[in-house]
Amino acid sequence: MTETLIDGLYREGEPIADTKAPDVPVPEMWTKRKFDAALVNPANRRKLDVIVVGTGLAGASAGATLGEAGYNVKSFCYQDSPRRAHSIAAQGGINAAKNYKDDGDSVYRLFYDTEKGGDYRSRETNTYRLAEVSAGIIDQCVAQGVPFAREYGGLLDNRSFGGVQVSRTFYARGQTGQQLLIGAYQALERQVAAGTVQMFSRHEMLELVVVDGRARGIIARDLVSGEIETHLADAVVLASGGYGNVFFLSTNAMGSNVTAAWRAHRKGAYFANPCYTQIHPTCIPQSGEHQSKLTLMSESLRNDGRIWVPKKAEDCDKDPRQIPQEDRDYYLERIYPAFGNLVPRDIASRQAKNMCDEGRGVGPEVDGVRRGVYLDFASAIERMGEDAVRAKYGNLFEMYEQITGENPYQVPMRIYPAVHYTMGGLWVDYDLESTIPGLFVAGEANFSDHGANRLGASALMQGLADGYFVLPNTIRDYLAKGPFDKLAEDHPDVQDARRAVAERVEKFLSINGTRSVDSYHKELGKIMWEKCGMERTDAGLREAIEEIRALRQDFWSNLRVLGTAEGLNQSLEKAGRVADFLELGELMCIDALHRRESCGGHFRAESQTEDGEALRHDDEFAYVAAWEWGGDGGTPVLHKEDLTFTAIELKQRSYK
């Protein structure tokens, strides 16, 4: 490990490498790994306990599949039912290399698109496997009764999604995530009925139990009774989702949080590429200080809508219909004549922010800035007719009108980017095992498949790939070494973990300060959005780190949480989540600062081409940044995993 601090912020430790991917060509790896992974005798499975935290696509599918295999599963979610997990809100669809359209799709092409979409910052072995298992997901979901869209002949319909040239996306109107999650939820409930899965709803994991270097359980709080519970097991799976709520405003659910992953990080699990966040360009703008979350609208809207802002700042509060054509700046069409309004998500997002920062944004002023740009369907309505526009986008227009009170057939929509997905997460190897033996991480909570940016319709694919097919096949190699020695609840390490949770809960309730949890969360979100959002600079990130540290200090001395630890206390729940976001936010800024290149969703202002395009530096940064917790008051330690590419060639992208 480096003796001196780098940038005054972190140290660099030994490189890290994945040791589980077999040494065969990439397309043969998964078959080989499944064969090499040890089997567990069916009679022994019922003696093995597995904890699964989270019941989204990854967690519910993993829980159901492990239950079907005969393991004892304990499944946890903070919501009142596993069916509520935020996978449910995904709209667009799920990719699979079925090639049902015979349009040249293949496992290799899906792999290629995913790797390229991630700007060559993901591990090709994991990405290839994702593409490889994708087709089986569709089969499984159809057999469960997931009502995908169908053609008149009764076969499944596909559409093209996210700028790719093949139609490989399966969908269920704009509710694909809901339908897939209900399928996984029903499979999970079937195992609850069968007695293989025990469900703990309204429970939140607050600590990981590590004994003799292995993950052996969790400490959870029953959110209804307030009781702190110990749950021990032979292995722990985290499928607890992403951390987009560090920005306060995001398209995530109100309760989405990083606590499970962050607690594991503090116990030794490395956190990889935390700065990689995806910002979605077509969300409904903030309407005021009261805003609690942002709502995404499918980016298919950009196929027919034209994006513009007024040329003159003084026109910004005018009725847009009164602004003549010559006074409008269709800035994407002007700057990117070849792709126009269809430039990739990160470019569309960044340019919208630039326009608003220049003072040419539209819509209500929040904190003195108008954050919105027009997405205008007037020319589409003129060209296709209102009925055709309604047939294509009717449900989105209704949703927009319900939220804003404005009719987009008459007045141009207003849109603004919002945080949507986090590609970073806990570091895992090919087996989805973290740096803590026995701790596995699936779905958005891990970092493994999307590199620096995620291709549309791939989040659902990854969640279900991990849960149905990957994890159940890799975890058996670990479980075959068990059952591990029975642990007593009064084992000192278990007691310590439990005591730490109780003390923290007590601490939140005893600060008795003046500020609410939400006020801290909002302030953190503003720092992150301004300085670690769509465009990052060296100076801005350094400022953000200072500001977060000061805010964190204030949080621990001036927080006000009313009520008690006995029974339901939603402020107390939020306090724990925000405390962890306040630590994660700093690590995100350090990661963003150290990565002096632009790649995918990470745009460093200092690293761009003359045309303002993102500029990667493959010679210096073709690695995964895996961060080790440096202790309270300590500094994080960077471990680099070099990315090697044997199945694909690195290319710099261009959209001009």
Partner 1 sequence: MKLALSIWRQDGPRAKGRMVRYDIDGVSEDSSFLEMLDMLNEQLISEGEEPVAFDSDCREGICGMCGVVVNGSAHGPERTTTCQLHMRSFKDGDEIVIEPWRADPFPVIKDLVVDRSAFDRIIQAGGYISVNTGAAPDAHSVPVPKENADRAFMAAECIGCGACVAACPNGSASLFMGAKITHLGELPQGQPERDSRVLAMTEQHDHEGFGGCTNLGECTRACPKGIPLNVISQMNGDFRRAGYGY
Q: What residues act catalytically?
A: 345
- Strand pairing class (413-422; 439-441): unpaired
Minimum distance, C-beta of residue 349 to partner 1, in the bound complex (Å): 20
DSSP-derived 3-state class of residue 152: coil
Q: How far apart are CA 407 and CA 211, in angstroms?
A: 59
Nearer to partner 1, 516 or 635 (CB): 516
Minimum distance, C-beta of residue 404 to partner 1, in the bound complex (Å): 7
Minimum distance, C-beta of residue 263 to partner 1, in the bound complex (Å): 21
Minimum distance, C-beta of residue 15 to partner 1, in the bound complex (Å): 36
Nearer to partner 1, 89 or 647 (CB): 89
Nearer to partner 1, 151 or 490 (CB): 151
Nearer to partner 1, 194 or 313 (CB): 194
For 562, what's the count of Cα atoms within 13 Å in the CB-facing half-sphere? 3
Minimum distance, C-beta of residue 113 to partner 1, in the bound complex (Å): 21
Q: Is the peptide bond before 483 cis (omega within 30 degrees of 0)?
A: yes
Strand partners, 627: 271, 638
Q: Is the peptide bond before 492 cis (omega within 30 degrees of 0)?
A: no
Minimum distance, C-beta of residue 324 to partner 1, in the bound complex (Å): 28
Minimum distance, C-beta of residue 455 to partner 1, in the bound complex (Å): 21
The order of strands in the sheet holding 235-238 is: 197-200, 72-76, 49-53, 235-238, 439-441
Nearer to partner 1, 43 or 193 (CB): 193
Q: How far apart are CA 435 and CA 272, in angstroms?
A: 11
The radius of gyration computed from the CA coordinates of the chain, to the nearest angstrom, equals: 24
Let me know if 40 is exposed, middle or buried by CB neighbors in 10 A (0-12, 13-18, 19+). buried
> What number of other Cβ atoms are within 10 A of residue 272's Cβ?
25
Alpha-carbon distances, residue 611 vs 11, 39, 596, 655 (angstroms): 34, 55, 18, 11
- Of 463, 461, 460, 470, the C-alpha closest to 446 is 463
Structure tokens at 79: 């919501």
Length, in residues, of the chain: 656
Minimum distance, C-beta of residue 351 to partner 1, in the bound complex (Å): 26
Minimum distance, C-beta of residue 287 to partner 1, in the bound complex (Å): 4
Characterize 324-333 residue by residue with b for buried, 16 or more Cβ atoms within 10 angstroms of its Cβ, and e for exposed: eeeebbbbbe
Nearer to partner 1, 140 or 446 (CB): 140
What's 541-600 look like in SS3? HHHHHHHHHHHHHHHHHHECCCCCCCCCCHHHHHHHHHHHHHHHHHHHHHHHHHCCCCEC
Structure tokens at 72: 């004892």
The residues near 630 (Cβ < 8 Å, ≥ 6 apart) are 10, 11, 636, 637
Residue corresponding to tokens 């927080």: 559
Alpha-carbon distances, residue 304 vs 220, 320, 382, 392 (angstroms): 48, 18, 11, 10
Nearer to partner 1, 95 or 273 (CB): 95
Nearer to partner 1, 404 or 608 (CB): 404
Nearer to partner 1, 250 or 458 (CB): 250
Distance of CA 632 to the CA centre of its chain: 26
Minimum distance, C-beta of residue 541 to partner 1, in the bound complex (Å): 30
The residues near 503 (Cβ < 8 Å, ≥ 6 apart) are none
Structure tokens at 25: 């060509």
Minimum distance, C-beta of residue 77 to partner 1, in the bound complex (Å): 10
Are 352 and 415 within 8 A, CB to CB?
yes
Strand partners, 419: 279
First to last CA, the chain: 43
Nearer to partner 1, 147 or 359 (CB): 147
Nearer to partner 1, 9 or 141 (CB): 141
Q: Where are the beta strands (DSSP E) in 311-398?
A: 328-329, 365-366, 369-370, 373-376
Q: How far apart are CA 626 and CA 428, in angstroms?
A: 10
Q: How far apart are CA 58 and CA 441, in angstroms?
A: 9
